Chains A and B, each alone.
Chain A
């Protein structure tokens, strides 16, 4: 089983190497792409690319962690206490909230929190809530009734039922929600460039301003690669569960 797993992680490792290479030696890529996008026009001085990637990752990880903690806890609580009304209300509110443009929310937050990390963190954490909340609620809801009856029948308390039966049963659905949330956040975190939170939004925004495709790509390519990598990693975590395979 170990062998199989390491084999399967090769794609992810390759992607990671690719990302690292890009972070430290983007000049290699820009040289290769030169015939398509032309040469770099501007030599704007800012943080080196790998620092920007780390900033970006910090924003994403912090906001996704916050989203997960809040959404997962809420989903579980609503499930345990059978708050059917609250459940539907939460989903409606969260869905409605997501229709607001990120950039507008961020602008509003900037006026309260000032420039920097905070407004991006709060905006992304807010946007990350919905997919996780939905998947937690639906995942816990959609468990086979017979399994729940059996769990009650053997004398599990509500807490034991949650830990031993309901969460393992809905694990892959919940992780799928987290995956969606994180990928949205990786892309959305580029707006951090506008409000002074740093991250890969900076080269993109600047590139647009000075009309330099190379600069734009310097920001956009690592973002795309991070999103792909995150997708792969969560896909792995969702897991091919042995108990589902005939």
Chain B
């Protein structure tokens, strides 16, 4: 558990952080969302003591961070930064193994760890000897994430780690990161200004503006306040992004069951198959479902779930987010 108590930090005249109180819970991805210059990166740097607060207290598991030895503290916190920050003169495996190396692990143990991490972030072994300059943006970000995980830190600080990526790669890495997180259960503090990214990944969302916290809570609980605020500072529509956080299968009890199709699909002629309505998987997000409705020009979708076939009506979809609020 990380606690920030009444934190103030300014650069000269400019107040970067103005009285922040925050608690980050173990095993949770907390996304800090705010426009650039709102103090969110500063907040991360205060936690691993790259910066020192002017006022206030930060503690990890109830222990004030200034009481830790600084290098020990930083080694126990994974840190991955915007623009990657890989060491250009080190190979991928040296980069990933840097924290274990300075912690004086045995050589073969480091090698094993690197192999494990490369696999975890979805890179093959032949990346080992490459230099950062030979990597694509997506590959470099994966290496960055792998490096921050190397010494198995409890806490991960991520400063727009996927910021430099194109939307497709970014989304892929987000999904893979969520998959990794579901295995590792780290305490993650993730800073971004991308609303979609924030909503997709957050267990808890913290909304920041001008060095202060505007609101915090589960992404669903923030819909009233957040939509107004976030839409003004990013232009993205918060509520629409929220639809992606729910799958059709979450609504399965609201859906109208349909009669099962005949079992002998195989003997359907081609024309008949085309006439049968297109069916959608219940693994689809509500955002995709809404888009599918718009494309079809229909207010209903046929959903094929493992329990059977259902009909998803627009009315059910429209109420889904508000229902999430009370979970």
Contacts and interface: CB of A to CB of B under 8 A. Distances in A.
A75 B133 CA distance: 29
Contact of B72 (A150, A155, A165): A155
Contacts of A149: 50, 81, 85
A153 B132 CA distance: 18
Contacts of A240: none
B50 A243 contact: no
Interface string B27-54: 0000000000000000000001010000
Nearest to B132: A243
Interface in B89-104: 89-90, 98-99, 102
B85 A146 contact: yes
A243 B87 CA distance: 10
B74 A147 contact: no
Nearest to A241: B89
Interface in A215-246: 241-246
Given A150-B87, A169-B88, 16 more contacts: A147-B87, A150-B85, A152-B50, A152-B74, A153-B79, A154-B79, A154-B102, A154-B147, A155-B71, A155-B76, A156-B98, A164-B98, A243-B90, A243-B132, A244-B133, A245-B133
Contacts of B99: 154-155
Interface of B: 48, 50, 70-76, 79, 81, 83, 85-90, 98-99, 102, 131-134, 147
Given A155-B75, A155-B102, A243 B81 contact: no
Contact of A153 (B85, B102, B133, B134): B85
Contacts, number: 66
Given A168-B89, A169-B89, A153 B50 contact: yes
A71 to B, nearest CB: 23
Given A154-B99, A154-B102, A243 B75 contact: no
Contacts of B48: 153
Contacts of B88: 147, 169, 243-244
A3 interface: no
A243 B131 contact: yes
B127 to A, nearest CB: 14
Interface of A: 146-147, 149-157, 160, 164-165, 168-169, 241-246
Contact of A154 (B70, B75, B89): B75
Closest 3 CB pairs of A and B: A155-B74, A150-B85, A155-B75
Contacts of B131: 242-243
A50 to B, nearest CB: 41
Contact of A246 (B73, B98, B133): B133
A242 B133 CA distance: 9
